[in-house]
Amino acid sequence: MGVPYHRQLADKQSLAARALRPVAPDVDWAAPFASAESGYRNKAKWVVGGDGKNPSIGILDEHREGIDLRRCGICEPALVDAFPPLVEFIARTGLVPYDVNRRAGDIKYLIVTASPQGELLVRFVLRSLDRLHDIRRRLPELQSVLPQLAVASVNLHPEHKAVIEGDQEIVLTEQSTLLMRLGDVNLYLGPQSFFQTNTAVAAGLYRQAAAWAARIVPDSVLDLYCGVGGFALHCAPASVRSVHGVEVSADAVSGARRSAADLPDPDRFTFDTDDAVTGRSDADLVIVNPPRRGLGATLADRIDSGAARHVIYSSCNPATLAADLGRMPSLRAVEARLFDMFPQTAHVEVAVLLERR
């Protein structure tokens, strides 16, 4: 932060190029896809701190006391506008912020996502379900002051450990998914589904992948770590006979199936809840969008020895991307592009097109 944005972008491009140079010396880099410098983040994962009368939302300091970030400059305006009524709702409902030192309290986190249309998905992460009835009873009050609230849920997180959410989700609204409309594609985001945190840059990333797929003209597409189906649904020109997505989150797979059903030829698409590492790995075009740890040796080796003529690899970690490319010597990186998903940070997203040698 404080570094002029054009310099940030140049530094990130240099960082990514250096990371890939040993394994992809001849890759053709396109111009970086820039982001808005502020107001770009569509999702806030805030610790609820303070006390029951004056809760804060943000992070914890070194003493595990709450630092309020409701005016955070990287959040989309729709989020910033929603924070005050959400904090007021927490106070009015009498939800006591979780005290990490004392291991006591009701609410641990507030997770809010905004759609491109300005609708909201709000999740209250609670230590127990003791206050579920109070939230449910007072939810109409929140909806009256926050009419853009489309989906609300309670996530149960009873354990004292450094993770943001638990496994159990209780949806409190009639609507259970947030519509994220990108161009002609409807993506349905459930409470526990992953979606890129920068909507405008995510749309650019999907357009780039779609342009590569249109040029390749694959017969079949396999999208590993498919989430709600963003890549699969964008990278399916009419010539593609089959598009299959694999994702461990059943919530995300349900959304991907619903998105496919909106398309004129839904029978081409299938989505399964499975582990990308152990499931199938062959298609004309394989798309991978793994977490920061990358593909790892097992999956990279399977893709390298498989039948895929092309691979599109979207990575949020150039170091693990480079390691994975080194594990796939049968595939050559031909084009790459940086997508600035996270301005004001050192993190980057890089998409690479690979072709079989």
Q: Which amino acid is at 235?
A: C
Q: How confident is the model at residue 140 (pLDDT cuts 50, 70, 90)?
A: very high
The residue extents of the domains of the chain are 5-37+198-356, 43-175
Cβ neighbourhood burial of 313 (10 Å; 0-12, 13-18, 19+):
buried
Strand partners, 50: 55
Domains 5-37+198-356 and 43-175 share a fold: no
pLDDT of residue 235: 93
Mean pLDDT (whole number) for 312-336: 97
DSSP assignment letter at 227: T
Mean pLDDT (whole number) for 304-308: 94
Q: What is the per-residue pLDDT across 2-44, written as a single tens digit (0 to 9) for each?
A: 899 999 999 999 999 999 999 999 999 999 999 999 999 999 9
**Residue 154: strand, helix, or coil:** strand
Residue 278 has pLDDT above 90, yes or no: no
| Residue range 43-175 in CATH 3.30.1370.160 | no
Element (H, E) at 153: strand 149-156
pLDDT of residue 1: 82
pLDDT of residue 239: 84
pLDDT of residue 277: 86
> What residues act catalytically?
316
Q: What is the per-residue pLDDT across 79-131, written as a single tens digit (0 to 9) for each?
A: 999 999 999 999 999 999 999 989 999 999 999 999 999 999 999 999 999 99
Q: What is the per-residue pLDDT across 40-71, written as a single tens digit (0 to 9) for each?
A: 999 999 999 999 999 999 999 999 999 999 99
**Residue 161 or 148, more confident:** 148
Mean pLDDT (whole number) for 233-240: 89
In whole angstroms, give the CA distance from residue 258 to residue 186. 9
Average pLDDT of the chain to the nearest whole number: 95
Residue 144 has pLDDT above 90, yes or no: yes
Kindly state the tokens that stand for 308: 């895929």
Q: How confident is the model at residue 280 (pLDDT cuts 50, 70, 90)?
A: confident
| Domain 5-37+198-356, CATH number (from 3.40.50.300, 3.40.50.150, 3.40.640.10, 3.10.129.10) | 3.40.50.150
